[in-house]
Amino acid sequence: MDGIEIEGMEEFADMLEDMTIDEADEKKAMREAIKPIANEIEKNTKKRSGKLSKLSKTVKKEGLGTVGIVRTKAFYDIFEEFGSSHAKHNVGYFDRSVKNTEDNAIEILSKELLDKAR
C-alpha cells in the first residue's frame, strides 16, 4: 500500500449531490414565503370595491436569483399607496404590510430551503 485510502467517499459524494437545490425547489419555497405577505396586504387593503385586494403573485428567475412579486391588479393602487391630492387616508398600507411580514417570509423561505438541503 503506497497510497492513502479513503473509505466512504462515495457515500459522501452521494450525500452532497442530494443536498443540491434546483430551480423548482427555489420557486416552490418562494411561493410559500410570499403567501403571508399577500395575506397581510389583503387584510390591510381598503374593502370598498374589493378590486384592490385582488393580488397577483408571481415567482420568476431573475439573473442569479429567484424573485417573488406580489402586486395588486388595480391600476389605481399607486394612489392608495402614496396618496393623491384628495385622498391620503390609507397612505403606505402596502409598504407597512410587507415590512410587518418580511421576517416571517424570510423564516419560511429559509426553513423550506434548509429542509430540502437536508
- Count of structural domains within the chain: 1
Interval 4-49: pLDDT, tens: 777 777 887 777 777 778 888 889 999 999 999 999 988 888 777 7
Q: What is the pLDDT of residue 1?
A: 55
Is there a domain that residue 3 lies in? no
Q: What is the pLDDT of residue 38?
A: 92
Is there a domain that residue 105 lies in? yes
Is there a domain that residue 4 lies in? no
Is there a domain that residue 2 lies in? no
CA-only gyration radius of the chain, Å: 22
Is there a domain that residue 94 lies in? yes
Calculate the CA 98 to chain-centre distance.
11
pTM: 0.74
Q: Tell me how far apart the alpha carbons of residues 2 and 54 are, in angstroms, rounded to a whole number.
A: 70
Q: What is the pLDDT of residue 116?
A: 76
In SS3 terms, 61-86 reads as EECCEEEEEEEECCCCHHHHHHCCCC
